[in-house]
Amino acid sequence: MLLNIQDLYVHYKSYWYIHKVLNGVWLRMMEGERVGVIGETGSGKTTLLKSILRILPQNAVIPNGMIKFKEIDMLKAGETELSMVRRREIGMIFQDPMAALNPVFKIKDQLYDVIRYKLFAEGYNPTKEELHDHAVKVLNDVKLPDYERVLESYPFQLSGGMRQRVMIAMALISAGKLLLADEPTTNIDVTIQDQILKLIDRLVKQRGLSTILVSHALGMVRQMTDRAYVLYAGDIMEEARTSELFDHPAHPYTSLLISSAPKISTREIGEGIRGKLPDYRSPPIGCRFAPRCPYAMDKCHTIKPKRTIINTDHAVTCHLYE
Ligand code: SF4
């Protein structure tokens, strides 16, 4: 198994409150798998990815859980071990390339740093020419033309699509095994979103990488993943093979989420799901979806449902199936 997350809780402390975001999340993936995580904005998807790399903000605490990457216990690993994983094993494409790239350094300096950081971990100290050649190669891989101009540019001098390609290039340098993609097309023009997705898909396949693609765009997850998890308010509600999840959703939230997505074929626009995500300062103690669920029973408001396996590769967290 490449990645095994069990019973993961993540809280954020603010001055007065504790925001209980992840609420016992599980996720497992084998080497070479492409896994999707879908859910509304604010359901904890980015927190989950950042937990894997241990790059959560300082006010985050992990009161319980396990994250095992290969044989490494990521929650107990020391800085040296974590640094090796971040340099050579796991790369991450962040949601907003403008925020992820440093605005005061040229692209070449930022790329050289990532390449140097990785090669140092392999015991090699590259020359300036080698850094340049490596940077040109990764820019070629992400199909960025005019690479000399790109290398000499500051992030603000590039278009959104070009910045995202630079981000992908950087993530791929460190992603020896696993690529984490956090809403990779959210902040770019709709006309090039498809190109970026195809690029990620091609590079992942070429390099035999495993991926976790996090998105609220259901079509993207359906197209690009083998298995998918549905995350709602910090709880995994359902897990299945992607085709099974979309064709035969079992959890009430998954069904509502899929039926509320606009359909191009029939020009229908779904009604959406009534209500909103709970307040993480005082989330529901039973099922977190209970205030919005049309099937909610009394016990849904007081008892947290358990993960129930309904058939091979298909599990659901709902009292209706226990
Ligand atoms: Fe709805 Fe209850 Fe199932 Fe939650 S546990 S999804 S409230 S039926």
User: Ligand 1 pocket, 257 CB below 6 A?
Assistant: no
Q: How far apart are CA 16 and CA 20, in angstroms?
A: 13
Residue type, 217: A
Q: How far apart are CA 182 and CA 171, in angstroms?
A: 11
Structural domains of the chain, with CATH: 3-309 (3.40.50.300)
Residue type, 230: V
Query: Can you tell me which residue has the tokens 């191009």?
Result: 264
Q: How far apart are CA 66 and CA 160, in angstroms?
A: 36
How many Å lie between the centroid of ligand 1 and the Cα of residue 287? 6
DSSP conformational letter for 268:
B
Q: How far apart are CA 197 and CA 255, in angstroms?
A: 25
Q: Are 316 and 232 in contact (CB under 8 A)?
A: no
Mutate-to-test residue for ligand 1 from 254, 295, 298, 317, highest number of ligand atoms within 8 A of CB: 295
Mutate-to-test residue for ligand 1 from 273, 297, 307, highest number of ligand atoms within 8 A of CB: 297
Sheet holding 72-73, edge to edge: 18-29, 3-13, 60-69, 72-73
pLDDT in tens, the chain (322 residues): 999 999 999 999 999 999 999 999 999 999 999 999 999 999 999 999 999 999 999 999 999 999 999 999 999 999 999 999 999 999 999 988 888 899 999 999 999 999 999 998 888 889 999 999 999 999 999 988 888 999 999 999 998 889 989 999 999 999 999 999 999 887 777 778 888 888 899 999 999 999 999 988 888 899 899 999 999 999 999 999 999 999 999 999 999 999 887 666 656 666 778 889 999 999 999 999 999 999 999 999 999 999 999 998 999 999 999 8
pTM of the full predicted structure? 0.93
How many Å lie between the centroid of ligand 1 and the Cα of residue 227? 22
Angle at the Cα of 173 from the Cα atoms of 80 and 150, rounded to 5 degrees: 130
DSSP conformational letter for 78:
-
